[in-house]
Structure 1
Amino acid sequence: MLGEGNVAHTAMSGDGTTAEDDPLQTAVWRLRSRACWVDAAALLAPATPQAALQRASLLVERCLYTEAGWEDAEDALRTAEALAHTDDERGAAACERGYLAYAATLLQVRDRADEARAALGRAAALIAPGAAGRPLLDFRRGLIAENLTRSPQAARAAYRRAHAGATAHADPLLLSATWRHLAGLALREGELTEARHGFAESLRIREELGYLVGTAPALVSLADTETEPEAARLREEARRLFRLLGGVPTWLAHRLAPPEEDAATA
């Protein structure tokens, strides 16, 4: 299962769900949730460490969902790293560096597993345990453990820390990701009821937030725990969203092939 999570805790300050949301952040969130990462990043002038980091985060997420835009993400990340001055800022930039290296490794663009581990280790040394950026770091360390190190036990521990942190810091999008990945581990172990509950919670949060680009993967995951005809209904809804967003995320395409195509290529 590919990794998903909050771009940066700052990005969620304007998810469009309350009247107090900053208009700029609301616009960024709406574009991001519809897979328009480049347009969202264009709204953010990298004049401050926070803006530069958020801009880089958006472009890193674009790489994970589209398997494209690697150079743009690298350029934005270098800018964010250059502007970072505090430990939190440097740690957050290192967390994004690790996530970009993880994505490149997972999608087989280039093996950057050692870079991913080193960058997230550097982030862990800079971001204090109770800081707002720590849950995202814990989640991404869980992704490394699950998908690169193949250590489900370590992944579960990291996801649980991230889950608790996301709850404490009121980060619903990250919470949806921890629900989903904990459910994925439960499904692999045959814990169907636990998996169904986690996937349903993840989907509920994404639908409430209007996070369209992350909704199709959540629908497919939940479908894996359901029986027919509910499973087919969920997958068809995922196909509709996938087509609506122009075939994003790209890595979901093989899971959404119509049944007749599956039969033809089996």
Structure 2
Amino acid sequence: MADTAMSGSGFTTGDDPLQTAVWRLRSRGCWTDAAALLAPHPGAAPSLQRASLLVERCLFTGEGWPDAEDALRVAEARAREDDERGGAACERGHLAYASTVLGVRDRADEARAALGRAAALLAPTAPGRPLLDFRRGLIAEHLSDSPQSALAAYRRAHAGATAHGQSLLLSFTWRHLAGLALREGELAEARHGFGESLRIREELGYLVGTAPALAALADAEPEPEATRLRAEAGRLFRLLDGVPTWLAAQLAPRTAA
């Protein structure tokens, strides 16, 4: 299965103790604990961040859908500005996309409609726009089977993430651009993109996203490097108790061989 997991741009947060604690938990797959730290903070921004964490948990584990829905309803109710409403719509669309692509329930129409609302609310230069572009690329690639539309959306997201300094999002745009290059047989371009994605995740300490990055790079590398990368991915996967769950199918056949 393709790496469909994605949340916001990450929090490397400097001197903010709350955001530092949230990032440390999130990066290790402790989404529920990270969300609990934000629960006492009633503003629109903490509510949206909490919803984003719980949506990411769904993507990585296939569990926690009711909690994510509840958190999204709270974020939607607290949103007042267009950027806040747009951010909530973007998360709503992503949760519906996740439900569809993971085979829980087909909510593709809801995903497209919610991301369309987000596009109407978020200004072209808004910090949330690159993430929206990325998610529209996911829908184009995985739900609409339109790689050219996905490529254009990923490129917009990549440029926006670069402009806004959104390092974690860049790791995802690199990864998905590389995936499209691999589909076209552009191995050198694919290796470069997968390598950049892995480098950023390792620099950020995004442990829960490192095994998928290793496995993706392995798909573009010759032997014996591919086997070494998959073995490293497998060790991390087991260390994190089988998260992300969808990576098991990618690792199992090669691990058993």
Are positions 1:37 and 2:31 aligned together? yes
CA distance in 1, matches of 2:64, 2:34: 14
Query: What's the counterpart of residue 112 of structure 2?
Result: 117
The one of 205, 211, 222 aligned to 2:217: 222
Are positions 1:49 and 2:44 aligned together? yes
Alignment of 1:197-236 (within 5 A): 197-236=192-231
Alignment of 1:152-231 (within 5 A): 152-231=147-226
SS in structure 2 at match of 1:4: coil
CA distance in 2, matches of 1:258, 1:154: 31
Amino acid at match of 2:5: E
Amino acid at match of 1:88: D
CA distance in 1, matches of 2:86, 2:255: 48
Query: What's the counterpart of residue 21 of structure 1?
Result: 15
Are positions 1:99 and 2:94 aligned together? yes
CA distance in 1, matches of 2:145, 2:183: 13
CA separation of 1:124 and 1:259: change in aligned 2, threshold 3 A: closer
Amino acid at match of 1:4: A
Amino acid at match of 2:107: R
* RMSD of equivalent CA atoms: 1.1
Q: CA deviation at 1:190?
A: 0.4
Normalization by structure 2: what TM-score? Answer: 0.97
Deviations 1:176-201 (A, max 9, x none): 00000000000000000000000000
Amino acid at match of 1:12: F
The answer as to whether partners of 1:13 and 1:22 remain within 8 angstroms in 2 is: no
Amino acid at match of 1:2: D
Query: What's the counterpart of residue 8 of structure 2?
Result: 8
CA distance in 1, matches of 2:253, 2:107: 34
CA separation of 1:44 and 1:253: change in aligned 2, threshold 3 A: same
Q: CA deviation at 1:259?
A: 4.2
Amino acid at match of 1:191: E
Q: CA deviation at 1:258?
A: 6.1
The answer as to whether partners of 1:13 and 1:21 remain within 8 angstroms in 2 is: no
Please list every run of 5 or more consecutive structure 2 residues that lacks an aligned counterpart in the other structure: none
CA distance in 2, matches of 1:95, 1:260: 37
Q: CA deviation at 1:260?
A: 6.3
CA separation of 1:226 and 1:260: change in aligned 2, threshold 3 A: closer
The answer as to whether partners of 2:219 and 2:226 remain within 8 angstroms in 1 is: yes
Stretches of 4+ aligned residues off by more than 6 angstroms: none
Query: What's the counterpart of residue 145 of structure 1?
Result: 140
Q: CA deviation at 1:227?
A: 1.1
Give the count of matched residue pairs: 255
Please list every run of 5 or more consecutive structure 1 residues that lacks an aligned counterpart in the other structure: 15-19
CA separation of 1:13 and 1:230: change in aligned 2, threshold 3 A: closer
Amino acid at match of 1:8: G
Normalization by structure 1: what TM-score? Answer: 0.93
